[in-house]
Amino acid sequence: MTRKVPTHLAAQVSARAGMRCEYCYAPQILMGQSFHIDHIIPRSAGGKTIVENLCLACSHCNLAKANRTKAVDPHTGKRVLLFNPRANKWEEHFRWSPNWQKLIGRTSIGRASIATLDMNAQLLQGARPYWRLVGLIP
């Protein structure tokens, strides 16, 4: 049974994220749906429903992440932690391709997160240059 995140926590998390997925940077305003409040460390692994363990995630990233906290880096084959928006800086682990369509992992955490969360899905790649054009991704 899913327990709802209290409204005041959800509002804090959404505001802190700038209404953008904290994994793939998708802007909520253009997605046409509400984003999820993700438990970075899942409740099933002892994660608490506190602002420090919550992030805003698009449905694509949240459903792909599920209850994972680790994944395999496709470059090294080693199991590593997934990107944690509260503990890691996005810019240290990801960068945009020159055409703004793909995310490129700078680190093992970035590469594993991109692969596991399918952050370069075809539909996302098609949308990202437009997000950039209207100034919704950095």
pLDDT in tens, 10-67: 999 999 999 999 999 999 998 888 999 999 999 999 999 999 999 999 999 999 999 9
Length of the chain: 138
Q: Helices (DSSP H) in 66-133: which residue ranges? A: 90-93, 108-116, 122-133
Q: How many CB atoms lie within 10 A of CB 62?
A: 19
User: Looking at the predicted structure, is the pLDDT value of residue 3 above 70?
Assistant: no
Question: Are 119 and 113 a contacting pair, CB within 8 Å?
Answer: yes
Going from N- to C-terminal start, the domains of the chain cover 7-133
Question: Are 97 and 74 a contacting pair, CB within 8 Å?
Answer: no
Amino acid at 67: N
pLDDT in the model for residue 136: 84
pTM: predicted TM-score of the whole model, two decimal places:
0.92
